[in-house]
Structure 1
Amino acid sequence: MDKEQVAAILAEIGQLLELKGENPFKTRAYANAARTIESLTEPLEKLVAEGRLGELKGIGQALQEKITELVTTGRLPYYEELKASLPPGLVALLEVPGLGPKKVKALHDKLGVDSLEKLEAVCREGRVAGLPGFGEKSQARILEGIELKRRYASRHLLSDALAVAEPLLEELRAHPEVIRCSIAGSLRRWRETIGDIDFLVSSRKPGAVIGFF
């Protein structure tokens, strides 16, 4: 697993912990670690192999172990268990534009919202506007966000798209007729959600490369 995938998972762990109401210092530690990993100028795999993760600012022992596990095995049981401990509908609410972990948690705690359908219902009933920190404008923006989410329902989270794209990229680069290959489109621009996975490929025999798929 490369640095982009690791950073995306660390950032998501921070969000999931915030949804559970964990210590803010802990949630920020994961968010900061994600930014640190994402901005690395040397291969993450090299740092792991040489045992140098501890040289990175804000990467303590616990994070070093998790990052090492992600890089070497491609999995992290802690992340999988954390995700499974929350209602699936609650996690999906993070995909609604304008809704962060704090607001999702407040909606769940105060109004029992744990799905997109329930969120839309309480908004249309005007109950969200009465919550501290929300108001009429927030309620209207949430309804707009729900509409946007439905409109782009075929889109996927960045971390999920990367998990599919990276192995394909390596196979393309190994193809004998490929000169150069890189990820393109919204995935290259690090958009939060991805519709299509695009590759930019240079080849003297494009037909052979197209046939690869």
Structure 2
Amino acid sequence: MSSDRVLFAGLMSLGVAVIGGYALSQSAVLAQDAVDGPGPNLVIEVAGKAQGEVVIDLLPDVAPQHVERMVTLAGQGAYDGVVFHRVIEGFMAQTGDVQFGKGPSLGQAGMGGSDLPDLPAEFSDISFDRGVVGMARSASPDSANSQFFIMFAPGDFLNGKYTVVGRVVQGMDVVDEITRGEPPRSPDVMQKVSVAK
């Protein structure tokens, strides 16, 4: 093989390697975006039987008032130390009671909210699939405040009746380990909740 051909073959290999490397790096960026989501992201450090980080990609285009509420409460540290007070196998894990969801007595966990007013419903056509996060409420559609739930499995019967605020993009394995019960005997806790853009 002539030196010209060797040089050409070497340059072609280098070009393919560079293009391949670029494609891989772009794939990595897209994969990271899929994990992180466009944001804002709610980052929950879970402690207890379940241990680890759960990242929820919030959906301000879908439910702007509810997302703003969650971001506000997280920014105030109101969610820190709140337990998962209602966790039903094959259904969902509920938390976010900033009024009654902090120990040691959890007798009223699930009955409270924050000191901010309740929110009007922001229903959408997003389906309650596994990993989708919705706002808990009482019988009134306009009664969501601070509590939210994460779906273990699809729950189509909730569609159009509860406000979807986001979806888990990282840490569903942690969510799956959350202790079951209403409330659990030894509930897992949102040790620290923060917001990442």
TM-score, structure 2 length as denominator?
0.25
Bigger Rg, structure 1 or 2 = 2
Greater strand fraction, Structure 1 or Structure 2: 2
TM-score, structure 1 length as denominator?
0.23
Greater helix fraction, Structure 1 or Structure 2: 1
